[in-house]
Amino acid sequence: MEGAIVSTHLLIFALEGQRYALPVSAVVRVVRAAALTPLPKAPEIVLGILDLQGEIIPVINLRKRFRLPERPIGCDDQFLVVRTSNFPVALAVDNTQEVVQLDPDAVVEPEDIVRGTDYLSGVTRNEGGLVLIHDLDTLLFPDEEQQIAKALT
């Protein structure tokens, strides 16, 4: 099934008080937010690039993608370095919270809740409340991926 939860281990992170998750298998590492270098000709969703031990990583503005209030990146924020199908990206998040093991039966298909949630692979609830589980392969639109790849060359 497209977008299905492959891993039952999820990394939960927060943005503007809402909890989100990604499969742990997609996460390369979590790093403290750092100064970014602008990336000319990149789509608006790219905050800049991060030099991570010699690897140039585009940093994605999830606030813009999810239509959340914009704010400058603070020293307490974090970058989640993840693998998409085409290249690694860093996601600017407020903080990471925990890794949880999830019973796949506890995941509700996003379309069962509301239509138009193409970037989600599921929704679950735990003691902390609702958690929106993201599908990294739909996080960036195809034209954005092409623009990023071109800007990185």
User: How much is the pLDDT for 5?
Assistant: 46
CATH number of 9-147: 2.40.50.180
Q: Show me where the domains of the chain are located.
A: 9-147
Biggest CA pair distance of the chain: 45
Q: Per-10-residue mean pLDDT for the chain, 153 residues long? A: 58 92 92 93 93 93 90 93 90 93 72 59 78 82 88 86
User: How much is the pLDDT for 1?
Assistant: 40
Cα distances (angstroms) measured from residue 96 to each of 40, 81, 84:
29, 12, 19
Q: What are all long-range contacts of 138-141, with beta carbons under 8 Å and residues at least 24 apart? A: 138/3, 139/60, 139/65, 139/84, 140/45, 140/60, 140/84, 140/89
* Strand ranges inside the chain, DSSP E: 9-15, 18-23, 27-32, 46-52, 55-60, 78-83, 88-93, 95-101, 120-126, 129-134
User: How much is the pLDDT for 107?
Assistant: 75
**pTM: predicted TM-score of the whole model, two decimal places:** 0.84
Sequence length of the chain is 153
Letter for the amino acid at 4?
A
Give 121's contacts (C-beta < 8 A, 6+ positions apart).
Answer: 3, 4, 5, 110, 133, 134, 135
User: How much is the pLDDT for 45?
Assistant: 92
